[in-house]
Amino acid sequence: MSIITKELFKNIRRIQIRTNRAVDDMLVGSYHSVFKGRGVEFEDVREYQPGDEVRSIDWNVTAKMNFPYIKNFREERELTVMIIVDISPSSFFGTTGKQKNELAAEIAAVLAFSAIKNNDRVGMILFSGGVEKYIPPQKGVKHVLRMVRELLTAETSQKTTNIAAALDFFGKVQKRRAICFLLSDFITADYSRSCAIAAKRHDLIALCLTDPKERTPPKAGVVTLKDLETGKERIIDMSREAVRTAIAGATKSRLYNNRKLMEKVGAGFVDIDTEGEYCKAIRDYFVMRERRR
């Protein structure tokens, strides 16, 4: 269990305030409309009003009361949401004042608060080269704050990224269909088989986090680049256009390949820049998905 320091408490509180505002302003309505419950169940009857659906009239009650009554139904809403977050060393990269792991914490909080405000259960899996932490789905603000705390204080025991291991573990602990948000920069080995299995059983949505300098490398001269996962260093000349083009091309290829994989298996894909408006990107995806349906 992580110790709550003054600084940690401030960070948790800051994320709670920021994400609650985002949830209230932009995401709750979109979230609710996109992720439907398992069905509807009868609640009660009420008097017919102009504009009501005639097919909803309860003829037995209508005959007894000598006035038309309609059946009232409510959505059987409770869903399970699992947020799978990459906490491998590459997630600690950032050039805009916000690292990928910090952005992931905010996004995870927004999704979690959206879930509990819609009376859904939410859980979390943290992974690197393997699963580092599993928090079973529950409801409530305290539960979400615990997840944020665990995410902010998480430490990796492995220096690699293994999305396949995270998805395989998810499949073992979550037997019933769930909504799964996968947050990562997707710098990983092949995970197509595990992805296909997860997407078939669950509603899988990939949120790919990238830094602006990965897309548009700066003309910075001779620099030393370090691989955060292997620890290897390499001196390169960033003033060379060919070098910058190669780095940008690798990022573009990674995004393209992961997007195509998600489309192939029927999963969602959202490209999120650490410098951009992540709430808008997620909301736009929800709106697009609702229109397609």
- Residue 226's pLDDT band (cuts 50, 70, 90): confident
pLDDT at residue 41, rounded to an integer: 55
The answer to whether 40 and 56 have CB atoms below 8 angstroms apart is no
Global pTM?
0.81
Distances from the Cα of 91 to the Cα of 34, 207, 211, 228, angstroms = 29, 13, 10, 9
Which residues share a beta bridge with 126?
A: 85, 133
Q: At what angle do helices 6-22 and 141-153 cross, to 10 degrees?
A: 120
What sign has the CA pseudo-torsion 210, 216, 221, 222?
positive
pLDDT at residue 81, rounded to an integer: 95
- Residue 15's pLDDT band (cuts 50, 70, 90): confident
3-state secondary structure of 187: coil
Tell me the percentage of the chain whose pLDDT exceeds 90: 44
- Residue 1's pLDDT band (cuts 50, 70, 90): very low
What's the Rg (C-alpha) of the chain? 23
Q: What is the pLDDT of residues 78-99, one digit of tens each?
A: 789 999 999 999 898 888 778 8
* Nearest C-alpha neighbor of 109 from the set 146, 155, 161: 146
Enumerate domains of the chain plus CATH numbers. 6-34+78-292 (3.40.50.410), 39-76 (no CATH)
Q: What is the pLDDT of residues 102-150, one digit of tens each?
A: 899 989 999 999 898 888 999 999 999 999 999 999 999 999 999 999 9
pLDDT at residue 220, rounded to an integer: 83
Q: What is the pLDDT of residues 248-285, one digit of tens each?
A: 999 999 999 999 999 999 999 999 999 888 888 998 99
The answer to whether 200 and 265 have CB atoms below 8 angstroms apart is yes
**Helices in 236-277 by DSSP H: which ranges?**
241-265
157-170 average pLDDT score: 94
**What are the residues whose beta carbons fall under 8 Å from the beta carbon of 204, sequence distance 6 or more?**
180, 182, 195, 198, 262, 265, 267, 268
pLDDT at residue 7, rounded to an integer: 75
The answer to whether 182 and 207 have CB atoms below 8 angstroms apart is yes
The answer to whether 209 and 233 have CB atoms below 8 angstroms apart is no
Q: How far is the C-alpha of 32 from the C-alpha of 43, rounded, in Å?
A: 20
Which residues share a beta bridge with 205?
A: 181, 268
